Each structure stands twice: as structure tokens, then as C-alpha cells.
Amino acid sequence: MAADECRRDGVSSELDVLSSTLMGDAFDMLASGDEVNVLLVVQDEDGNAGSYEFSDDGIEQCIEAARSKVLELRHAMGDEEAGLGLPVRYALAYEGAVGDDDGSYQDALMLEFGERGYKSYSAFSYFECRGEGDGFRWTEPAPAGELEPLI
């Protein structure tokens, strides 16, 4: 049996809080009119978290750099400078667009998240009215599929 077949479905409460907090921070940035770069937060078993931002390349390169950072942190057993031990969960957020059935695209905040022993997933939330403060609106996250686990 392959290792991925032994992974559990679902999301732990710790990963739910980690990913929800990251999305909330990204929504606050969008409401203020700020650009959301590729944001990554990684957490160890003790709840210590390291945050990273990627913006020096195109979006695809930044997403790949963030994913590589998770793998690097896992291999390095954490990030001493950030006070992070062996990573057990992560969440990654970035701006994107999601196509509708009619072929049009809507702005969306994309989220990828995973945890040791669990399957990894992606989700998205549509948003509109960037930079309009209290007028900023977003939808509840919708599932976007399963991903290759990084942890």
C-alpha cells in the first residue's frame, strides 16, 4: 500500500485555524487594496509558526518557490531563525482567477493546505470590490481538489 493511500481524509482543527487565519489576513489585505503576494505559513507540532512571502518572480514561480520552501523546511527539520521545529502543517494563499461554466473568469483567493498524515487540499473564495474596505466582499471557501502532499 502506497504512503498516500494511508493518509486520512479531512482537516484537523489546528490546520483549519491556520488556514482560516491566513485567508483572513489575505482578505484584510485585499479589502485595503493591497496586492496579495504568495503567502505561506508553516506550523510545527508545538504550534510555532513561520511566515514567508514570495513576490520576486511571476505568480507560477512564486507558488513553486513556496511549495519548495515547505519541502526545504521539512528536510531541514524546521527554521531555527523563525523558531520553527519540524513542520507538521502548512497553508499557502495567493491571488488567482477561477473560470465559470460560461467561460468567464472571476477574481479568487486560492488556498492550498496540508498536514502530516492527512491528504492535502485546495480551495478558493471569489472576491470583489478590492480596496473598498467594508464594501469588500468574498464567498465562503469552495473545494478545488486534492493536491500532492508536501508534508
Higher pLDDT, 3 or 47: 47
pTM confidence score: 0.92
> Which pLDDT tens digit goes with each residue over 93-106?
999 999 888 889 99
From the number of C-beta atoms within 10 Å of its C-beta (0-12, 13-18, 19+), residue 98 rates as middle
Q: 38-71, pLDDT tens digit by residue?
A: 999 999 999 999 999 999 899 999 999 999 999 9
pLDDT of residue 102: 86
Whether the predicted pLDDT of 31 surpasses 70: yes
Q: Would the CA dihedral through 20, 23, 28, 31 be positive or negative?
A: negative
